[in-house]
Amino acid sequence: MAKPSSIEAQPARRASATTLDELRAGSPYVSYSYSYPHKTSYRPLEPRALKDVWATEERDAVFLYLHIPFCAVRCGFCNLLATKGADGDLTRQYIDTLARHARAAREAIGDRQVVRVALGGGTPTFLDPAELDRVFGVVRDVMGADTSTVPVGIEVSPETVTPERLQVLREHGVDRVSIGVQSFDQSEAGRMGRPQRDGDVHRALRLIREFGFPTLNIDLIYGGDGQDEASWRRSLEAALEYRPEELYLYPLYVRPLTGLGRHGISWDEHRLALYRAGRDQLLGRGYRQVSMRMFRAPHAKAQDGPVYCCQQDGMVGLGAGARSYTSALHYSTEYAVGRDSVRGIIQAYIDQDDAALRLLRHGIELDDDERKRRYLIQSLLQADGLARGDYSRLFGGDALEHFPQLQSLVAHGLAVEAPEQLVLTPGGLELSDAIGPWLYSERVGRRMQEYAWA
Ligand SMILES: C[S@@+](CC[C@H](N)C(=O)[O-])C[C@H]1O[C@@H](n2cnc3c(N)ncnc32)[C@H](O)[C@@H]1O
Ligand code: SF4
């Protein structure tokens, strides 16, 4: 197996393929399409009242996402809107703003019900127990979400897991805890740019299990420098010891603006080989593959709905960097990854008065074509594939007629077509991060190319 041997320059962001031959000749790792359109395609908009944007929205259920942009560390690979540490009483100011933002959002969405809640980041458990309690108070008292009945998920990092914090999460009905481990070998994690102690990882995992959360998810990353198939398998085995209900296996992407960048065919081959090894190991242990990244345990309780009902629900995002989705418009604050830019965005978020929090200024409009693409990408990249009947009911036509290029996936053996389904083959699923971008509109692809990283 080819392994990356050296750290090279950050690759230029390449255009996505237009034909399937180009797609197959290119990298399998173009972009993670978990939410189309990607946030780097958002642009400044004429200020608009949240209330007006939500007034015409037909959906009566919303997913609530709260973004906590603070972490105990800043990982070299991470391109999320997050910053290491918080000076002075920054976290208090941030939560104050979150509460004001929630009031603005509640007013805008009217009596729509919050049916699912997630706290992500960053690292929400960077907050201390009293601060976490306050955030849940906002979710309950301002957003009106009964966290004892709706599913609630939270992201944690190993060193922030303490009994006091987990106690708060239990009291507020959190049922899914997702922990970023990345690697069970601290020197390997360190080489990826993740400072971490193995002792913290195991202590955190034991504690989470002792507290009895119904769903434990563990994030692991493959493709790091010096990681090989044997060390990758050891990380997977170490994760399996904790019987996680879910596992996310992320191919390593290196964020712009770091010295960690490198590229080349050998790195692609390396990631692909580790992906296959990881997938086969988990399938062999009875895990079901849900998407390229996600695997669910045989003992996981049946889902009462998709992990995130993006196809049906609107999403209300609270916090700096949190995205909100209506059917025709996606919006958020600005996005950045560089330290000073991230801090500037957090400060600008806090500095907004109530009137400013009632407006949106940054995002992307989705016309009918973009809505179809979004639906298509988010369905097709799931192992269960695209339900053609559902697509037709929503968009008044067959997906394969609206997007004839899908036929070439079938012709190349990357998807199989049935009257009711279009499902990626294993060879297609492992190319998810190339197939997603291949389905982006020209406008979104161009905007992502033109995005100036800060
Ligand atoms: C918000 S973090 C999870 C919680 C917590 N902040 C932590 O890191 O432990 C989201 C996950 O995205 C994954 N991730 C972030 N940036 C990545 C990158 N550049 N390449 C691959 N995976 C990445 C990591 O596995 C990480 O655990
Ligand atoms: S991977 Fe997690 S802990 Fe690391 S910087 Fe990103 S959000 Fe923070």
The atom number, within ligand 1, closest to the CA of 181 reads 9
CA-proximal residue: ligand 2, atom 6 (nearest): 78
**CATH H superfamily, domain 41-296:** tm_1862 like domain (3.80.30.20)
Q: Identify which of 32, 82, 72, 439 has the alpha carbon closest to the alpha carbon of residue 253.
A: 32
Q: What is the best residue among 32, 70, 75 to mutate for testing ligand 2's pocket, by most ligand atoms within 8 Å of CB?
A: 75
d(CA 275, CA 431): 11
Structure tokens at 357: 């929090």
Going residue by residue through the chain, which has 454 residues, state the pLDDT in tens, using 9 for 90 and above: 333 332 222 333 444 677 888 888 889 999 888 889 999 999 999 999 999 999 988 888 999 999 999 999 999 999 899 999 999 999 999 999 999 999 999 999 999 999 999 999 999 999 999 999 999 999 999 999 999 999 999 999 999 999 999 999 999 999 999 999 999 999 999 999 999 999 999 999 999 999 999 999 999 999 988 899 999 999 999 999 999 999 999 999 986 655 445 555 688 999 999 999 999 999 999 999 999 999 999 999 876 554 444 445 599 999 999 999 999 999 998 888 889 999 999 999 999 999 999 999 999 999 999 999 999 999 999 999 999 999 999 999 999 999 999 999 999 999 999 889 999 999 999 999 999 999 999 999 999 999 887 7
Query: Residue 217 is inside which H or E element, if any?
Result: strand 215-222
Task: Give every CB contact of residue 188 below 8 A, 6+ residues apart in sequence.
Answer: 224, 226, 227, 231, 235
| Gap from CA of 17 to ligand 2 centroid (Å) | 30
Return the domain boundaries, the chain.
13-37+367-454, 41-296
Parallel, antiparallel, or unpaired: how do β-strands 43-49 and 359-365 relate?
Answer: antiparallel
Topology of domain 13-37+367-454, CATH: Arc Repressor Mutant, subunit A (1.10.10)
CA-proximal residue: ligand 2, atom 2 (nearest): 122
The structure's pTM equals 0.94
Q: Which ligand is nearest to the CA of 79?
A: 1
d(CA 123, CA 156): 6
Q: Is 221 in the pocket of ligand 1 (CB under 6 A)?
A: yes
| Gap from CA of 388 to ligand 1 centroid (Å) | 32
Task: Give every CB contact of residue 295 below 8 A, 6+ residues apart in sequence.
Answer: 246, 247, 248, 249, 279, 282, 287, 288, 289
